[in-house]
Structures are given as structure tokens and as C-alpha cells.
Copies of this chain bind each other. A is one copy, B any other.
Amino acid sequence: MNFNKVLVAEDTDSNNFGVVTKLKSIGVHTIGQSQYCDDALLKIKKAQFDKQPYQLLISDLSFVNPHRKSKLKSGEALIKAAKKAQPDLKVVVFSVIDKRSTIQNLMEKQGVDGYVCKGLNGLKELENALNTLFIDQRFTCPVATAVLSQKNVLELSDYEQQLLRLLANGFKQSEISAHFKANGTNPNSIRSIEANVSKLRDTFDAKNSHQLVHMATSLGLI
């Protein structure tokens, strides 16, 4: 009782090899592997064409694609394309990323079936994920589950995120105001820009805007 055709998309060879070896040890017969997003998508389509489609995709999120004109530049793009090509394909994300927004987006909007954070027990949790997905249930590893259940975390609205991003990218308040007006975003007066930046300084407990930008950047929020 297990998946018997699985594709592993992961660029780092040590990780890739670790996952593939693990899958073999738990009895998965046919294991495809790919270190590039484009190649992974190709294998999925080829398997479909041969009437022997993959049942499960295990994918990392970040890929380096050196010297390749690749269309798919990230795991997210691969997953979206794969789901489009084969809607019944199950997908588990296997990534070091433990950011709430990333996990939430993938699980809720991208229709991913499982999320496992790489770490001390990542491989073991991957096995748990396979068992759970096989009986048509969704799975998040303990680390991901904990992150998702945290309430009142520093979470930015789209507006705040956009504001911070523009600020961090060197736009002055008057330019941000003009930009918001052009895009129909409100509030967009200079005074409101100021007020919102000031509120963000408070919530982050930052002494000034420089520190605010520093904190938001190092927390990976922008």
C-alpha cells in the first residue's frame, strides 16, 4: 500500500540522493529524479504520454539553473505547471522554507497536498506525508503545522507590504504617494504614507525607518 511512481525535483544532489534512497528503502518502485524544473515538467508530460503517469511529485522550492534558458525558475512555477498538465497529480513540497506566508499560499491557493520542512526529521516526515497522501488526506509536518497555528504573528497586509517594499527600494514618500495614486491604491496622501510608516515603526518597535527597513528585510517580509 504505497505510491509506486514518484518524481523527485530537487537541485541539490546530496538532498536529491538522500530522498531517492529513502524512497527506495520504503518500497517505491519507480522513482524519477530531476535537478531542473523544466526537466521535471518534461518527465511528467512524457510519463503521461506513455500512459504511465507519475502519482506524486516531491518538489523543492528553490532551484539554481545555471547556463540554462529555463522557463520555470522556481518550485512554485513547476508546481503550477505540473498541476495544469496533470490535475490529479499529488504534490508534496520539501523545502527549508518555514515562512507562514509561503506555506499558507501553497497549501491554500496552489492546491499543494503536503508540506514538509527539511530539517532534523525531514525524511521521516516525508514518509509520513506519503502515507497520509496515499489515503487522500493532506499533510503538513509538525514544523509547518506549528508555524501555521501561530496567531498574531507579524503579518503584513498587502498594502503594508507594498509600502515597505517601495520604501526599501529607495522611493521617497512623495513618489510612493504618486505611485499609489496612479495605481488606485488608497490611502495615498503623503500624510497617510507617513502615518502608516509610523504605525509600522511602532509595531516593529523600530527607532526609525532605517531600522524598520532593516528588520523587515532580515525577517524576509519584503
Contacts and interface: CB of A to CB of B under 8 A. Distances in A.
A191 interface: no
Contacts of A126: 14
Interface residues of A, number: 41
Contacts of A22: 14, 17
Closest 8 CB pairs of A and B: A170-B207, A18-B18, A170-B211, A168-B214, A14-B18, A217-B217, A17-B18, A13-B123
A21 interface: yes
Interface of A: 11-19, 21-22, 35, 64, 66, 94, 96, 118-124, 126, 167-172, 206-211, 213-214, 217-218, 222
Contact of A14 (B15, B170, B213): B15
A15 B18 contact: yes
11 contacts: A12-B15, A12-B119, A13-B18, A13-B122, A13-B123, A14-B126, A15-B18, A17-B18, A35-B120, A210-B210, A214-B222
B211 A14 contact: no
Contact of A214 (B12, B119, B207, B217): B217
A68 to B, nearest CB: 11
B121 A13 contact: yes
B17 A168 contact: no
Contacts of A211: 168-170
A126 B14 CA distance: 10
Given A169-B207, A172-B208, 16 more contacts: A11-B120, A13-B122, A17-B18, A18-B19, A18-B21, A168-B211, A168-B213, A168-B214, A169-B214, A170-B206, A170-B211, A210-B213, A213-B214, A214-B222, A217-B217, A217-B218
A210 B168 contact: yes
A212 to B, nearest CB: 8
A172 B123 CA distance: 47
B12 A118 contact: yes
Contacts of A118: 12, 14-15
Contacts of A120: 11-13, 35, 64, 66
A123 B17 contact: yes
